Amino acid sequence: MTRIKIVLTLLLIGILSAVSISGLEQVLKNQQSGTPDVFVGIDLAYDGVEDVRALIDRVKDYTNLIVVGSFDITFNETKLDATCQYIYENGLYFFVYLHPRARGQFNQTRWLERARDEFGSRFLGIYAFDEIGGHQVDRGRWMLVNETNVAEETIKTRNYTDVADKYLARLDGYLKEYYESTQPYYMHRGNLSIITADYALYWFTYNSLCDVVLGEYAWNLSRPLQTALVRGAATAHNKEWGVMLTWTYYNSPYMESADELYDDMVLAYLNGAKYIVVFNYPKVSDYGVLTEEHFDALKRFWQYVNSNPRKVDVTKQRVTYVLPKDYGWGFRRPDDNIWGLWEPDKLSEKIWNDINRLLNESGLYLDIVYDDSKYWENVKLNYGQIIFWNQTEF
């Protein structure tokens, strides 16, 4: 049976379920304000204003969101103005990748203030960093916590809380630069959102000043597991979430097939994702990595969305699995590392087995959260069944 058939079977009851009162209120609010129920779009990560305009022309009839991710454009005020104006004129919403430490480019604070006035609600906010949690578990360039900036005793005793606190402090230290500073080249937030994409440590990024995390459907990562992690974190933090559909391969053709792309978009939509974004890099053809078949898949999905208005999910029907506090595990395999600093511990195998059992039994009704008192009331409010990592029977 294909993945999409399995997905549709698991979600049939959910699609037909009744809408909660609070959910109905949110739908009505969105309709009245004109805010889309779902944002569907492209992350334009390759360079060239004219190239970007050509791609916008290609997709504007079956998307409503553009993420401007090209450094060539976002670090050049003239090019950024022209690109955002073109997106706005074509009736699309957009995020812009900006970095407050890109000194000497242009006055970003001034640009943000002007952009809010000129583009209004179509300008959604700032895309900040990229895969910061992934860098941590894979010991990448942006690894925030490592053996050089935590105490030796922390490493020796496997003190996960010390690392979680350090991770949050360092991440918020960077994100605060988007909010306030006396320096003229720095930005401040105003009424804009900060969004990022990642494949690990969603909960801890949601602990920060970041507003939205796009969980990555990429490589051979389990889509249901990624969904459970990012949706659970967003629900507990009372924030929005989405999906970034990105590379399956490290070389050409990079992206999954058109049918797989369509299946993944439907999966994200039925799970309640607010943002569904296709990463488009590098430029290996006239339109990045996207082929005619991919564009056809986007069209089909746009038609699907407009023909199947989404019922708001009733979270009380969901099961949530509660992890130990600050357990920064990678969740990609039973022997994945913890915080990029330690090998798996004695809980890892049990948690892996528990989660895979629950995914088999509960399907896409499973969410995953952490045992954190700051968010516990929200967890209890949103889930009908709560299972802890140390339960032996459930």
pLDDT value for 21: 31
pLDDT value for 104: 67
**Tell me: the pLDDT tens digits for 316-330?**
678 999 999 999 999
pLDDT value for 5: 41
- Beta strands per DSSP E along the chain: 39-44, 65-68, 93-97, 123-127, 193-198, 212-217, 241-245, 275-280, 319-323, 366-370, 385-388
Burial code of 14-30, b = ≥16 C-beta within 10 A, e = fewer?
beeeeebeebeeeeeee
pTM (predicted TM-score): 0.90
pLDDT value for 108: 86
Burial code of 217-242, b = ≥16 C-beta within 10 A, e = fewer?
bbeeeebbbbbbbbbbbbbbbeebbb
pLDDT value for 14: 38
Residues of the chain with pLDDT under 70: 1-34, 103-104, 180-185, 189, 312-316
pLDDT value for 34: 67
pLDDT value for 185: 67
Q: Does domain 36-307 have CATH number 3.20.20.80?
A: yes
Domain ranges of the chain: 36-307
Q: Is 184 helix (H, G, I), strand (E, B) or coil?
A: coil
Distances (CA, A) of 344 to 159, 321, 335, 339: 13, 19, 6, 10
What distance in Å separates the CA atoms of residue 260 and residue 241, rounded to the nearest whole number?
21
What distance in Å separates the CA atoms of residue 274 and residue 219, rounded to the nearest whole number?
22
Q: How many helices (H) and strands (E) does the chain have?
A: 15, 11
- Which DSSP string corresponds to 125-145? EEE--S-HHHHHHTT-TT--S
Q: Is 30 helix (H, G, I), strand (E, B) or coil?
A: helix
Among residues 100, 101, 94, which one has the least CA distance to residue 125? 94
Alpha-carbon Rg for the chain, nearest whole angstrom, is 21
